[in-house]
């Protein structure tokens, strides 16, 4: 799967960020990146069945894991991630780690683009729109907790679109309502339709942040804050195919994979999502994205 020749430029990068500071319930997100990368290297089929291609053989995909970050403050980790991304031209997927790592990607996007031209498409059980986590974290409350990342994105001027939502506080509910943010919730209101989601995204450029708890927990059981319900594998991956083929995806992350060492399904599913994102993006950039 991964290219080991560092002297040639990569077409895509996968960067693991083993950072779990601020996890609120289940632990182990720091083990996510290595487990996902191992699945990509050893378990994933290189044949991509929706396009009948072998993108791993067509393109150079490189991987790395950011080191010496586990003891950093969230602010320091975010700066380090943004700095690493600022030196990469290739399409990049970040692997968390807790959802806080996405703010590093948002900061690097802000350096390259006008944030109002970008929609952060969030697949997540939670809104992550708390101003800080002081309602449940009395010891060391932070505005860079994983429960705050979409609030920070809104403040940074990005447009947002949330999908799979089914757990949030009253403050988050009021914030999203007041700002008229598109929220595609599970089980309340209309059933999710890909057409509706695409229509709610007003920008050409999209950054995709996938908190694996947005999916049904039968697909990603090992995650920090699992919530019943969630989008199906078929819906989520179909959404990604449509979004990537019709819009300009400028980056992505997959976060909150917390392998439990028992069932390998969570890391396998995250590895498959990562390969899907890279495959469709690179085929599209090459003018070769055709679904068979």
What are the residues binding Mn ion (CB under 5 A)?
A: 99, 124, 128, 211
Beta bridge partners of 257: 223
Return d(Cα 213, Cα 215) in angstroms, integer: 5
Min dist CB 126 to Mn ion, Å, is 5
* CB nearer to Mn ion: pick between 149 and 240: 149
Min dist CB 98 to Mn ion, Å, is 8
* CB nearer to Mn ion: pick between 166 and 284: 166
* CB nearer to Mn ion: pick between 250 and 255: 255
Return d(Cα 277, Cα 167) in angstroms, integer: 26
* CB nearer to Mn ion: pick between 82 and 147: 147
Return d(Cα 184, Cα 190) in angstroms, integer: 9
* CB nearer to Mn ion: pick between 22 and 55: 22
Tell me if 253 sits within 8 A of 210, measured CB to CB: yes
* DSSP collapsed to 3 states, 222-271: CECCCCCCCECHHHHHHHHHHHHHHCEEEEEEEECECCCCCCCHHHHHHH
* CB nearer to Mn ion: pick between 29 and 282: 29
* CB nearer to Mn ion: pick between 126 and 205: 126
Min dist CB 284 to Mn ion, Å, is 26
* CB nearer to Mn ion: pick between 51 and 209: 209
Return d(Cα 23, Cα 123) in angstroms, integer: 18
- Nearest residue to Mn ion by CB is 211
Please give the sequence-ordered ranges of beta strands (E in DSSP) within 73-204, or none if there are none. 91-96, 118-123, 159-165, 183-185
Min dist CB 116 to Mn ion, Å, is 23
Return d(Cα 166, Cα 164) in angstroms, integer: 7
Q: Give the list of residues 6+ apart from residue 163 with CB closer than 8 angstroms, or none.
A: 121, 122, 123, 124, 184, 192, 197, 214, 231, 239
Beta bridge partners of 17: 96
Q: Provide the 3-class DSSP secondary structure of residue 13.
A: strand
Min dist CB 211 to Mn ion, Å, is 3
Min dist CB 225 to Mn ion, Å, is 8
Q: Provide the 3-class DSSP secondary structure of residue 172.
A: helix
Helix (H) or strand (E) holding 64: strand 61-65
């Amino acid at each position: 799967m991964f290219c080991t020749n560092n002297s040639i430029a990569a077409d895509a990068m996968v960067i693991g960020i083993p950072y779990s500071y601020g996890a609120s319930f289940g632990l182990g997100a720091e083990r996510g990146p290595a487990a996902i990368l191992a699945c990509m290297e050893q378990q994933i089929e290189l044949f991509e069945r929706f396009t009948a291609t072998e993108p791993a053989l067509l393109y150079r995909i490189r991987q790395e894991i950011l080191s010496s970050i586990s003891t950093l403050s969230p602010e320091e980790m975010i700066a380090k991630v943004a700095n690493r991304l600022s030196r990469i031209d290739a399409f990049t997927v970040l692997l968390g780690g807790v959802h806080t790592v996405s703010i590093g990607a948002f900061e690097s996007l802000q350096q390259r683009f006008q944030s109002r031209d970008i929609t952060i498409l969030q697949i997540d059980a939670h809104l992550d729109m708390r101003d800080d986590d002081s309602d449940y974290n009395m010891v060391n409350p932070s505005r860079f907790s994983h429960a705050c990342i979409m609030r920070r994105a809104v403040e940074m001027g990005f447009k947002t679109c949330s999908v799979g939502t089914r757990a949030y506080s009253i403050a988050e509910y009021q914030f999203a309502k007041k700002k008229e943010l598109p929220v595609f919730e599970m089980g309340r209101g209309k059933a999710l339709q890909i057409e509706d989601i695409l229509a709610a995204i007003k920008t050409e450029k999209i950054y995709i942040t996938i908190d694996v708890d947005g999916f049904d927990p039968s697909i990603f059981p090992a995650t920090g804050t699992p919530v019943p319900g969630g989008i199906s594998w078929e819906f989520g991956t179909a959404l990604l195919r449509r979004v990537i083929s019709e819009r300009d995806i400028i980056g992505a992350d997959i976060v909150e994979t917390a392998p439990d060492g028992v069932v390998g399904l969570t890391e396998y599913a995250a590895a498959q999502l990562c390969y899907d994102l890279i495959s469709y993006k690179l085929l599209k950039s090459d003018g070769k994205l055709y679904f068979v």
